[in-house]
Amino acid sequence: MMERLLILMLMCFGMCSCASVVDNRNGQPPNFVLILADDQAWNGTSVEMEPGMKESASDFHQTPFLEKLASQGIRFSNARAAAPVCAPSRYSIQFGKSPARLRLIRVGMDASHIPHAEWQSIAKVLRSVDSTYVAAHFGKWGMGASPEILGYEVSDGATRNMDGGFVNDKSQWETTMTRDPKKVLELTDRATAFLDSCAANSRPFYLQVSHYAVHSNIQTSDSSFAIMNSRPLGDRHRHVGFAGMTLDLDQSLGKILDKLEELGMSDDTYVIYMSDNGGVPNIPGAKKYEQSLNHPLQRGKWDAMEGGLRIPMVVAGPGILPGSHSNAHVWGADLLPTIADLANGLALLPDSLDGGSMKPVLQGEKEVEVTRSVNGMAFHVPYRNKIALNRPHSAWISGNHKLLYFHDDGEVRLFDLAHDCGETQNLATALPARAEAMKKSLLSYLDEVNAPRWQEGITWKGNPFSTYQSTH
């Protein structure tokens, strides 16, 4: 009855769509804050993503506010980005589709084939649920259309790495002291001002803060550097400047959490913290390395092995059990359907999505995995990137098994991630039927979505997908 009255009142003021609204404690639609780190490793924080597994947290970096968020919500030990590089991953978050389906599989690829204005994004779906929603994006965008085209009323525009101080030369690995490292203060101030505005106008919101940290160049504040320089170095993580940058990022999270509490919004807001891809395998960057900084995970950014895909993810908000944990396999493509579901707008989404709603997992249902229209998760790197593996490959995760397929020679590797997150034991020979079935599923999926195919000499950088359509 109360919900009906609320909807009728909003309609009288011309502010409500025909879609239903999820009521929270205050009778308002829920708010959402997404904090997106850049290049932050699964083990790059002081939160154990796998409780009891010390290697799933840094042995040096300090992130006390992320620890606080984890104590208030749920952490995921099997969260992954949709791609091991930023642009495809960011697209997947907004549209709920895999980079293979998007046909956008690397940084620098032309995205003119994507109908940005027509597709449902996070911001557009929420406005369809309730027209009073307001969406803001601050920080690194990294997509081929402006935030406004995707429904964001407030933004920094179509920003890229260079807007965060990135310079693609050896200087990116040198520590620089600055008052506002990676624009962390500017982004935080813009975010908190936006929250003040939403509170003053009583509007539900979606706020995405896409940090330039901890992507190179390495920048840190004097204070954070001093704090980390006073601590003993770890065995795996030993770079004081990088640790300082990590601490600066965490302090930004703390200020946003404090603002939500100050405005009385904490009980009505879902806060999602994650990274756009796995961490760099070493500092300074190099094409070869003995052991990744992401150990026990293999390799890192640029590869579809776990070091490049697995990320820290923590979610807190209404109905989420404080201090909880999930082993469910989730990925960036799940964010759009999850947010839509939490706002009671799941029915507004198209069928051609690769992500599924994490809502049952967030609500603490036991032994639950995310339900998706596709029975697996595809990770597609069909080119030689001259970094790390330097082989065209794809991966398919179904249940706890992961298949790695190399397009250059057909090599197959199969791993049981429940017992071997480091991908050290190839089970393809021991479990040939399982390997063959997963290979078939992967290749069938790539065919179905007309994903870009590996061809020697093609990097896909800078060229529209249509350039190569005739070869597929």
Q: Tell me, what's the pLDDT at 9?
A: 35
- Calpha distance 106→5 (Å, rounded): 49
Q: Considering the chain, what is the average pLDDT of its residues?
A: 92
Q: Tell me, what's the pLDDT at 26?
A: 57
Q: Which helix (H) or strand (E) holds 335?
A: helix 335-342
Q: Tell me, what's the pLDDT at 2?
A: 36
Q: Tell me, what's the pLDDT at 387?
A: 79
Confidence label for 441 from pLDDT (cuts 50, 70 and 90) = very high
Per residue in 51-85, pLDDT (tens digit) is: 999 999 999 999 999 999 999 999 999 999 999 99
Going from N- to C-terminal start, the domains of the chain cover 30-362, 377-471
| Residue 17 confidence (pLDDT) above 60 | no
Q: Per the confidence metrics, is the pTM higher than 0.85?
A: yes
- Calpha distance 34→39 (Å, rounded): 16
pLDDT (average), residues 377-394? 91
Contact 195, 125 (CB under 8 A): no
- The answer, yes or no, to whether the previous bond of 84 is cis (omega within 30 of 0) is no
Per residue in 349-368, pLDDT (tens digit) is: 999 999 999 999 999 987 78
Contact partners, residue 18, CB within 8 Å, separation at least 6 = none
| Residue 5 confidence (pLDDT) above 50 | no
- The answer, yes or no, to whether the previous bond of 277 is cis (omega within 30 of 0) is no
Going across the sheet that includes 377-381, the strands are: 377-381, 393-398, 401-406, 412-416
- Calpha distance 225→409 (Å, rounded): 47
Take residue 470 and report the two structure tokens written for it.
């005739």
Q: What percent of the chain stands above pLDDT 70?
A: 93
| Residue 20 confidence (pLDDT) above 60 | no
Contact 65, 238 (CB under 8 A): no
- Calpha distance 126→193 (Å, rounded): 21
Take residue 409 and report the two structure tokens written for it.
């020679």
Contact partners, residue 419, CB within 8 Å, separation at least 6 = none
Take residue 404 and report the two structure tokens written for it.
């790695």
| Residue 148 confidence (pLDDT) above 60 | yes
- Calpha distance 27→20 (Å, rounded): 13
Confidence label for 407 from pLDDT (cuts 50, 70 and 90) = very high
Least confident of 280-294, 337-351, 397-411: 280-294
Q: Tell me, what's the pLDDT at 466?
A: 77
Contact 27, 6 (CB under 8 A): yes
Q: Tell me, what's the pLDDT at 237?
A: 97
Q: Tell me, what's the pLDDT at 7?
A: 35
Per residue in 170-200, pLDDT (tens digit) is: 999 999 999 999 999 999 999 999 999 999 9
pLDDT (average), residues 129-137? 98
58: closest CA among 70, 69, 43, 68? 43
Burial of 288 (0-12, 13-18, 19+ CB in 10 A): exposed
Q: Tell me, what's the pLDDT at 469?
A: 54
Q: Tell me, what's the pLDDT at 462?
A: 86
Other residues' Cβ atoms within 10 Å of the Cβ of residue 1: 5
CATH 3.30.1120.10 for domain 377-471, yes or no, is yes
Q: Tell me, what's the pLDDT at 13?
A: 34
Per residue in 239-292, pLDDT (tens digit) is: 999 999 999 999 999 999 999 999 999 999 999 999 999 999 999 877 667 789
Q: Tell me, what's the pLDDT at 368?
A: 86
Confidence label for 27 from pLDDT (cuts 50, 70 and 90) = low
Least confident of 5-14, 410-419, 463-472: 5-14
Contact 380, 404 (CB under 8 A): no
Q: Which CATH number is associated with domain 30-362?
A: 3.40.720.10
Q: Which is more confident, 150 or 467? A: 150
- Calpha distance 433→446 (Å, rounded): 20
Q: Tell me, what's the pLDDT at 281?
A: 93
Contact 415, 431 (CB under 8 A): no
pLDDT (average), residues 17-21? 35
